Each structure stands twice: as C-alpha cells, then as structure tokens.
Chain A
Amino acid sequence: MKKSAVTLLLPALLAVLVWMPLLFLAGGSFMGVVELTENLAPILTDSSGYASWRLLPQFPTLRPYIELLLDSPQFFVMFWNSVKLTLCILAGQFLVAVPAAWGFAQYRFPFKNFLFTLYVVLMLMPFQVMMVSSYLVLDRFSLLDTHAAIILPAVFSTFPVFIMHRFFCSIPNAVIESAALDGANKLQIFLYMGVPLGAPGILSALVLGFLEYWSLIEQPLTFLRNKTLWPLSLYLPNITADKAGLALAASVVMLIPAILVFLYGQSYLEQGIIAASVKE
C-alpha cells in the first residue's frame, strides 16, 4: 500500500497540472465583472501589482453566459459555423472512407499495396506541407472563401480510411463467407455485416475526427478571408475589463461539446490511437 502511494506521486502531480487550467477556466467563467476586474486589474488596466486568481468565484453568476448566448450574435454565427463544418466533414468522411476502408480490407486488386502505402504517406503529411496544393486546387474550382474549401479536402483525408481499415481487417473471414453462402451480395455483406461489425472502428475514426475538426485553426485561417464564415476556434475576443467574463464563458462553451464527445467516446478514442500505431 505504501509503495503504491509513493509511485503514484509522479502521475498525481502531473494530473494536478493537467486539471489546473480547466479548473481556472471553469471558475473564472462564473465570476462577475467586478470580481474579474479586481483579479485581473494589473493586466487589464496597467495598474501596479500582479494578477491573482481564486479557484472558486466569491459571488458566482451566470451573467457572462447569458450575455454570450443572448447578446453576442457574432458568437452565435461562429458557433453554427463550427457545428456545420464539423458535421459536414464527419458525414462526408463516413460516406467516403467507410466503403474505401472496406474495399482495402476485403478485396484484392492490382496496385493495392502501392495505393495503401500512398494513403498512409498522405495521411502523415502535416497541413503545412499540403497547404500550397490545397490552395491551388481550391482556387481552380473557385472554392476559396466558402465552407466547401474546408469541408472537401477534409472529407478526402486518408486518415479515417486507415483507422477503419484496421478494424475491418479483424473481422473473421468465416463470418463474411457464411453470409456469402446465404446468398448475400457484396453490397449486402458490406451494409449488414461490415458496417455493424466494424462500428467500433468507424466510431474511433469519427471521435478522433471530431476532436480534430472542432478546433480547426490553420485551414479556416488560410482559406477563409470572410470572417463571417470563421468557426468558433478563431473567436478570440480581446480581454478588456468589460469583456473578460464573456471571453472566459466563450472558452467554456467551445469546450463543452468536445468534452461531451470525449467522455462518450473515450474508449473509441483510445482504440483509434492504438489502431493508428499498429505496424503494417
């Protein structure tokens, strides 16, 4: 017992460091204007001394949230932009990547290994490497400054294909064969056997995708000049004395969907992370 307590010291210490920012944010978002101003005065108003912070607000209030959700049309537009972008990307990935992953996992065709290796290499390229090529093709199709500029390249990301492929490969051959013996055609096998049996893999890819696309920064910054199209991840009100509460509340609202998806999908998230690491 004693030994285990000692060895847990390091993880426990790190855990506190991980949680601290979240507690700060959550606490701060319920503080009133007066309390925030008092805490942050040295930063906000150039007065002397240093900023301070309490974990729990002295006089908790929902004012910042009400103000944000009711009186900030700009925030609302950006929130819906984020929802729209994320949902369209995930739906598109589902329609394109699931059949592709199934095709790679189940069938043999010429150049298959070459194509799959190509998919892996493309999935490993960071955005900065691909940004010129994306820009050129989006420009060619006049898609710049539209939501399609963010959605379409993401839909054809090869990463979800790779993740789902891992899970489809693990479906036992006998299951597929018995369905074929019962007279199911290829589409039926895919829809009634493949999709349900590969569901954990599909969910893994979608959970990883959600967390990625909910906090998109580079793509909208690069391809969207029109700020009314920007997603929430680029909503950064300046911290001024009267807006500090608003900014904190916005941070928390942005965080909530991601946390919910995380809590619901943690096991899929882990499976997805592990699947991405399996050696070919």
Chain B
Amino acid sequence: MEHCKKGKSLTEFLFLVPSLIGVSIFVLIPFIDVVRRSFCGAMSGEFVGLQNYVTVFTNKAFQLAAGNTLRFVGICMPLLIGLSLLVALILYHQAERAALFKTTFLIPLAIPVASVVLLWRVVFHSKGLLSALVVRFGGQAIDWMNSGWAFWVLVASYLWKNLGYDIVLWLAGLSSISPSIYEAAAVDGANTWKVFTRITMPNLLPSLYTITVLSFLNSFKVFREAYLVAGDYPHSSMYLLQHLFNNWFRDLQMDKLSAAAVLTALIIMGLILLLRRAWEEKCE
C-alpha cells in the first residue's frame, strides 16, 4: 500500500463514509450495546455483573449444545483439512484434469440447502434409500435423523459442502511454492516423501492457518442443513449452539443470549489470534 497519496484532503475520506456510517449503525454500535447488556438483567436493566455468564455456563442446554459444537468442529476440521489436502495434492500433479474436478467439488457450494433437503429426507428416512441399502447387505433399518447417526449425517454434509472451498485454497498454496526449490531438491536426489515433508509441508503452513480459520467459520453455516432437516429441536446428538441461540431468541431471553453471543465472539477471536501466534512462532 505504498502508493497511498499524501495530504489531508477530506474528499478521499468521503469514499469510506457511507460504509462507515452503515457499519456503525447496523453492526458495531449494536454489538457494543449487546456487550453492555450481557452484564445487565433482562427485565430490570440493572447491572448484574457476571450473573448472566454464570447462568449460561450452568445451563444444561448450553452444555449440551457447546459440547456438540466442540465435538463437531473437532471431528470435522481434521477430516476436511486432511481430505482436501490429499485431493489437492493429487490434482496439482494432474493439471489437465484438475479443472473438471475443481468444478465438481465447488458445485456443492452453489447448491442452496433448500434444494437438497428434500433428498435428505428420502435418503435418511427409516424406510429410505440408505436403510434399503443397509438392509440389502443384511443390516437393520435405522431412522437416521433420530439417532446418534444424525451427527454423522451432519459431518458428511459439512464435508460435502466445504471440500471444494478448501481444495481451491490448498491449490493456491501449492502453486505459490517456487518450482526452483523442487528442482534443487530433485538435483540433490530427494525422494517424494522427503520432498513432501521438507519442502511442501513447511511452505503450506501459512495456508494451513487460513484454511483452519475459514473452515472453522464455515462450520457455523452447517446450522442451515441441521435446521431445515430437523427443525428447532433435532436429535440431541446434533443440537448445536446455533439451535440454542435460535430457541433463546424466540423466547426473547436477551440476557442469556447476549452473554452467549459475547462468549462466542471471544472464543472466535481467541482462536484466530491463537492460530496466528502458533503459526508465527513456527515461522521463526
């Protein structure tokens, strides 16, 4: 950004004004207000200190939802990141076929959730297509969405949706590694595994950081699938924080909701900073 013009002319600032005003009114000021509310009683509006946070932490529904969300993120992210890296590595060496595959893996990103929800019902019904398949191989029919399997259906859906996104990011990371490093390694007689662990992986670390953050944030969007398939109160294995927020919102429990929103914001910011620090330390 060294091509910035000097001078204090206000006309330059005018470009930003509409956006700044809108962001302040619709996002920033209301959020600061929510932080304030998280320390106040819902009815009285009086300052109650950390009371709302204590209430949220001891709430059974919150514990269930937070646990499920953690479990979901903890299982999905390594799976997604590993699988997309594997596919990206294969496609990177298959330049002429990569375009077709990239289109394929990106298409789920474009498919509105509402379009596939119907199909989910047909597939995961207790007498649906998946049960039919399982029975054919001698298994038992299951009402998938009303059992512990619901969680895994959600995992699969998240992978299906986000695989292409991460593959594109990995491919961008791979293509930013200078070919001359690989040539030098080849001259020195390094084998494939050595090249991968000594050159490819270290150079992909910055990508790993951003991919982790973005995959984490995209994991919040899985609520769409969960909600459209199972409604307000899905099977307890897939009752996520988002369901809880939704249900508290409907009951206008603003005190708990504010505290939970601030907590979630803190955790997200913390994770972003933590990952950034972890990456920077490895870099030195």
Interface of A with B (CB < 8 Å)?
4, 7-8, 10-11, 14-15, 17-19, 21-22, 24-25, 40, 42-43, 49-53, 95-97, 99-100, 102-109, 115, 118-119, 121-122, 124-137, 152-153, 155-156, 158, 161, 169, 172-173, 176-177, 186, 190, 211, 214-215, 217-218, 221-222, 232-236, 239, 247-248, 251-252, 254-255, 258-259, 261-262, 266, 269-270, 273-274, 276-279
Q: How far is the CA of A99 from the CA of B249 in the complex (A)?
A: 35
Contact of A96 among B22, B97, B119 (CB under 8 A): B22
B115 and A252 form a contact (CB under 8 A): yes
User: In the complex, which residues of chain A have a beta carbon less than 8 angstroms from the beta carbon of B90?
Assistant: 7-8, 10-11
B30 and A119 form a contact (CB under 8 A): no
User: In the complex, which residues of chain A have a beta carbon less than 8 angstroms from the beta carbon of B2?
Assistant: 173
Closest chain A CB from B231 CB (angstroms): 10
Chain B residue with the shortest CB-CB distance to A121: B269
B265 and A102 form a contact (CB under 8 A): no
Q: How far is the CA of A43 from the CA of B108 in the complex (A)?
A: 26
Q: How far is the CA of A103 from the CA of B1 in the complex (A)?
A: 12
Chain B residue with the shortest CB-CB distance to A235: B114
Dominant SS among interface residues on chain A: helix
**In the complex, the 10 A-B pairs of residues with the closest C-beta atoms, listed nearest first:** A173-B3, A133-B30, A100-B19, A103-B15, A50-B132, A156-B22, A215-B112, A262-B110, A126-B220, A108-B4
Chain B residue with the shortest CB-CB distance to A125: B265
B1 and A169 form a contact (CB under 8 A): yes
Asked if A137 meets B26 with Cβ closer than 8 Å, knowing A247-B118, A269-B106, the reply is: yes
Asked if A106 meets B5 with Cβ closer than 8 Å, knowing A18-B105, A126-B217, the reply is: yes
User: In the complex, which residues of chain B have a beta carbon less than 8 angstroms from the beta carbon of A239?
Assistant: 118, 121-122
B115 and A50 form a contact (CB under 8 A): no
A274 and B168 form a contact (CB under 8 A): yes
Chain B residue with the shortest CB-CB distance to A177: B3
Q: How far is the CA of A53 from the CA of B131 in the complex (A)?
A: 13
Dominant SS among interface residues on chain B: helix
Q: Could you write out 27 A-B pairs with CB less than 8 Å apart?
A: A8-B94, A15-B104, A25-B118, A43-B125, A43-B127, A51-B132, A106-B5, A125-B265, A128-B220, A128-B241, A128-B245, A131-B261, A132-B254, A132-B257, A136-B33, A136-B34, A137-B30, A217-B114, A251-B117, A251-B119, A255-B115, A259-B107, A269-B106, A270-B106, A274-B172, A277-B210, A278-B210
A107 and B15 form a contact (CB under 8 A): yes
- The answer to the question of B165 belonging to the interface, with a C-beta cut-off of 8 Å to chain A, is yes
Q: How far is the CA of A51 from the CA of B37 in the complex (A)?
A: 51
User: In the complex, which residues of chain A have a beta carbon less than 8 angstroms from the beta carbon of B121?
Assistant: 43, 239
B127 and A131 form a contact (CB under 8 A): no
Q: How far is the CA of A8 from the CA of B98 in the complex (A)?
A: 10
